[in-house]
Amino acid sequence: MSKPLRLGLAGLGTVGMGVVAIIRKQAELLEARTGRTISISAVSARDRGKDRGVSLSSYAWEDDPVALARRDDVDIFVELVGGDEGPAKQAVEAALAASKHVVTANKALLAMHGQALAEAAESMGLQLRFEAAVAGGIPVIKTLSEGLAANEITRVTGVMNGTCNYILTRMEAEGLGYNALFDEADKLGYLEADPNLDVGGIDAAHKLALLSSIAFGTQVDFAGIEIEGIKFITLEDIHAAADMGYKIKLLGVAQMTGRGLEQRMQPCLVPETSPLGQLSGGTNMIVLEGDAVGQIVLRGAGAGAGPTASAVMADVCDIARGHQVFVFGKPAKTLREAIPALSLRAAPYYLRMALKDKPGALAKVASVLGDAGVSIDRMRQYGHEDDHAPVLIVTHKTTRADLDHALEAMGHTGVVSGTPVALRIEEV
Ligand code: NAP
Ligand code: HSE
């Protein structure tokens, strides 16, 4: 039997306590599968006195995660604090400088500093693993960087934020408002410390940036992602989409084009009968397309204590077995700088607008769309509310540029109130 593997665990919240639970419950299984005893030497969190439901007195305590990262009795530093700066970053850097392997669930940190951290880890011959950072319990990092290593990846698509999927599906099923669902998602342990990262699409974009790097051999380029969150989606949109056979999902798409790397994270309509349309609650789905393998679909719990801790422990087990991989699938120094490219691919769009109750109003909108080269596929007008009528339009395939021209012109017609909502329809 090889020597025991000792963890330093920073962060004892949803994920951290999930890791403690697995290590306690599955000690024998982990040893049988890795050939090593896996134990926790020391832990760190903000509040030592907090009741965490189980006694942690058998572990040494450090107030400062940086001190934990440097301890002699720590072989792997497990960072489950969160945040792209501050203690998480300082402690991960300290761990690498002290020759410790690092396992983290922190997508924000890697989306912002992944390249520098990967170079630091690889220059020291250390493992920096982040399976839990993308899509919770789904082993998508391993699938992409190892299982599909022989493929040129052509496209990555997916729903990768559990909170947003939970809110969108519960809004439709229960007719519940945003705030009630926020509280429910919080109780399930889905929310980021700053929930604006979830509903603003930023958390999902952090994840997409990491997947793109592995898929396309480019440096992590979070800044190059077009991001739109779900905050402006109303119950009306959800019901209107359902009426027309669609579901609204916060969808990420990344693909390499001749012009550069296209990455977008935005609410889209998907057919309700499609695998993505069927996703409910905190479930995530990632669709990977490779030249040799074709399409792979991964589906599972994208957030919460058990699923995320499962992914953390998968990384720990790999390190215990001595399995080595490059952080982003290729040596970090060989990753190319990404050139961001906007999507030029035409797609149908869903439009919602409030039309003033005036003669010829609908004709004006149709004419503006026609002038911009945007053709109408379907249209619905609902009953008047005060002096406005909600109008929904599904267009034939059009480019975003043509649609933007039409939306701009609509603002000058004098018959549309406010800004129309425009959501892309994706057939994945
Ligand atoms: P959490 O429940 O808020 O827990 C964060 C932990 O970090 C807490 O134990 C907190 O201490 C500790 N902490 C915060 N600031 C600290 C500081 N300055 N010094 C020391 N400890 C500090 O967060 P979580 O949901 O477990 O998420 C942890 C990480 O996993 C984040 O990067 C998150 O993005 C990622 N992640 C989460 C999920 C999920 O489903 N929750 C899924 C995938 C990835 P106290 O407990 O004393 O306050
Ligand atoms: N807040 C994240 C989500 C946690 O809702 O998906 C998992 O990364």
Give distance in angstroms: CA of 418 to centre of ligand 2.
32
Q: Which ligand is nearest to the CA of 14?
A: 1
Give distance in angstroms: CA of 144 to centre of ligand 2.
20
Report domain 5-133's class.
Answer: alpha beta
pLDDT in tens, 270-321: 999 999 999 999 999 999 999 999 999 999 999 999 999 999 999 999 999 9
Q: Which ligand is nearest to the CA of 185?
A: 2
Which ligand 1 atom is nearest residue 203's CA?
34
Which ligand 2 atom is nearest residue 185's CA?
5
Q: Which residues of the chain have pLDDT under 50?
A: none
In this structure, the residue with its CA closest to atom 23 of ligand 1 is: 13
Q: Which residues are catalytic?
A: 207
Give the pLDDT score at 428: 78
Residue 355 burial (10 A CB sphere; 0-12, 13-18, 19+): buried
Give distance in angstroms: CA of 84 to centre of ligand 2.
15
Q: Indicate whether residue 191 lines ligand 2 (CB < 6 A).
A: yes
Q: Are the C-beta atoms of residues 417 and 385 closer than 8 Å to each other?
A: no
Give the pLDDT score at 158: 97
Q: Indicate whether residue 48 lines ligand 1 (CB < 6 A).
A: no
Q: Indicate whether residue 80 lines ligand 1 (CB < 6 A).
A: yes
Other Cβ atoms closer than 10 A to 301: 20
Report domain 349-425's class.
Answer: alpha beta
Give distance in angstroms: CA of 24 to centre of ligand 2.
24
Q: Indicate whether residue 221 lines ligand 2 (CB < 6 A).
A: no
Residue 147 burial (10 A CB sphere; 0-12, 13-18, 19+): middle
Give the pLDDT score at 180: 82
Instruction: Quote the CA–CA distance of 249 and 375 in Å, as a whole number.
Output: 24
Q: Which two tokens stand for residue 154?
A: 């052509």
Q: Which of 104, 190, 208 to mutate to test the pocket of ligand 2 (most atoms within 8 A of CB)?
A: 190
Q: Which ligand is nearest to the CA of 309?
A: 1
Give the pLDDT score at 41: 98
Instruction: Quote the CA–CA distance of 49 and 45 in Å, as a whole number.
Output: 10
Which ligand 1 atom is nearest residue 15's CA?
26
What are the boundaries of each domain within the chain? 5-133, 144-301, 349-425
Q: Do domains 5-133 and 349-425 have the same CATH topology?
A: no
Contact partners, residue 374, CB within 8 Å, separation at least 6: 349, 395, 396, 398, 402, 403, 406
Q: Indicate whether residue 163 lines ligand 2 (CB < 6 A).
A: yes
Report whether CATH 3.30.360.10 matches the domain 144-301.
Answer: yes
Give the containing element (helix H, strand E) for 71: none
Q: Indicate whether residue 127 lines ligand 2 (CB < 6 A).
A: no
Instruction: Quote the CA–CA distance of 248 and 271 in Å, as a whole number.
Output: 9
Q: Indicate whether residue 162 lines ligand 2 (CB < 6 A).
A: yes
Q: Indicate whether residue 202 lines ligand 2 (CB < 6 A).
A: no
Give distance in angstroms: CA of 224 to centre of ligand 2.
21
Give distance in angstroms: CA of 54 to centre of ligand 1.
17
Q: What are the percentages of helix, strand and coil residues in the chain, rounded to 5?
A: 40, 25, 35
pLDDT in tens, 244-256: 899 999 999 999 9
Select from 67, 53, 41 the least CA-distant residue to 14: 53
Q: Which of 78, 308, 310, 313 to mutate to test the pocket of ligand 1 (most atoms within 8 A of CB)?
A: 308
